[in-house]
Structure 1
C-alpha cells in the first residue's frame, strides 16, 4: 500500500533568512545543508536545515516577504492555544526519541537565552514549548504511550465535528492502493476539488501539459555549486 511515510520538508516563509537560519542552527542545532535561488521563482531564496531520516526544515524568502504583515490570530497563532486562518500552520512540533533528549533540548534552548515551557505530558507524547523568530509557535516532542485508534479516537469529539461511526471506521482504515505504474492521467478540472492558486489560465495550461513535458521544462537537477 502506498501512502506518505513522513515529511520530506516543511517550508516556512521568512522576511529575514539569515535570522531564521541563525536561530535554527544555533538554538536548535540543525545544520544548514542547502541554500540556493528558488527553482522557477524569480527573486526567491530557498534554504534547508537537516533534521534526520531524509527530513528537512525549510525556509523561503521572496522579495516582498519582509513587507507582508504578521497578524496574530490571522496569519499566526502565537501560542499553542491561539487561532489563525484556516489552512495556516497553528504550531510546528519537532521530534526527539525520548524524554532524556527532550530535557536536553530544553537545556540547549535555554542556554541560548530562549524561554521554554515544559515538558508537559499529553499521554501520546511529552512536549516543550517555545517561540521562534517572526512569531513561530514551536514545540519539541518525544513519544509517550502507543497511539491506537481504540484509545485515542474520542466518539464525543467525532460527534462535535459531524463524523459518524461508519465514517470514522473508514477514515481509520483507508482503502489500499499500490499505484498503476504511472498510467493514471490528469483528471479533468473540477472546481469543487482543491486547487493551487495560480492564475486560472496558466493553471489550466499546466494541467493540460503532459507530465513528462512539464517535468522536462521545469528540471533543476544540478546543485548550484560544481563538484
Structure 2
C-alpha cells in the first residue's frame, strides 16, 4: 500500500464567527483560561480579494491547539444552522480528569453561566454550556480503560457499516450505556 500524499501534522486552527472579538477574547480567557496569542485585521479578504473588513483573533487552547474567531461587522448578524439541533455543533475541550471537570464546572457556574452535566458517556464525562456567541462548549474528561478504547476501535467499522445501511443506532457498544446506568444507580 502506498503512503498517502497528504501529510497532516494536526489542526493548525479551527475558526468560528463571533459577535464581538474583544468580548470573545475576554470571555475565553476568563472562563477557560485561554491565552490570546495573535490577531489579523484586514479590509480585504486575502484569499478572494473582496472587501469585507474583519478581525481574526487566535486563542491558545493548549497542547498546540488554536481556536480562532472572526468578527465580521459588515455581514448580516450571526445566526446558526436552524436545521441542526443546538447540541450537535460544539467545541469540545479536554480536561485532565473528572476532578478537573468538576472544578471547571464550579468555576464556569461562578461566572453566572448555566452548565449542563456532568453527562456520562461511558468512556468520558462532559459538561456543556454556551459562549457569548451562542456556540456550545463542552469540557470532557476521559475515564475509559485501554481495553474499552480498543474495543471501541474494533467495533467502529462495524457500527459505521450498520449505520450506513439502516440509519439506526447499532448496538455494538451498548456496554457504554450500561456503565453510565450502573454508576447513576450506585449514586442513587
- In the superposition, the TM-score normalised over structure 2's length comes to 0.69
Give the greater-gyration-radius structure (CA): 1
Residues 86-105 of structure 1, C-alpha deviation per residue, up to 9 Å, x if partnerless? Answer: xxxx1111111211111111
Consecutive aligned runs of 4 or more in structure 1 exceeding 6 Å deviation: none
Ranked by relative contact order (alpha carbons within 8 Å, sequence separation 6 or more), the top structure is 2
Structure 1 pair 9/150, CA: closer, same or farther in 2 (3 Å)? Answer: closer
CA distance in 2, matches of 1:111, 1:60: 27
The equivalent residue for 1:193 is: none
* Structure 1 residue 131: Cα displacement: 1.1
Q: 2:26 aligns with which of 5, 22, 25?
A: 22
Cα deviation digits, residues 121-179 of structure 1 (max 9, x gap):
1122111111112221110001121422455527355323139xxxxxxxxxxxxxxxx
- Name the counterpart of 1:159: 162
Where 2:165 maps in the other structure, the secondary structure is: coil
Q: Which has the higher strand share?
A: 2
Name stretches of at least 5 consecutive residues in structure 1 with no aligned partner: 81-89, 164-227
Compared with structure 1, are the counterparts of its residues 118 and 9 closer, same or farther at alpha carbon in structure 2 (3 Å cutoff)?
Answer: same
TM-score, reference length from structure 1 = 0.58
- Judged with a 3 Å threshold, the aligned counterparts in structure 2 of structure 1 residues 12 and 71 are, in CA distance, closer, same or farther, namely closer
CA RMSD in angstroms, aligned pairs only: 2.6
Distance (Å, rounded) in 1 between the aligned partners of 2:135 and 2:118: 19
Task: Give me the whole-angstrom Cα distance separating, in 2, the residues matched to 1:121 and 1:59.
Answer: 30
Q: Mark the runs of 5 or more structure 2 residues left unpaired by the alignment.
A: 167-188
Inter-partner Cα distance in structure 2 for 1:30 and 1:61: 18
Q: Is the 8 A contact 1:8 1:56 kept in 2?
A: yes
Work out the number of aligned pairs and report it.
152
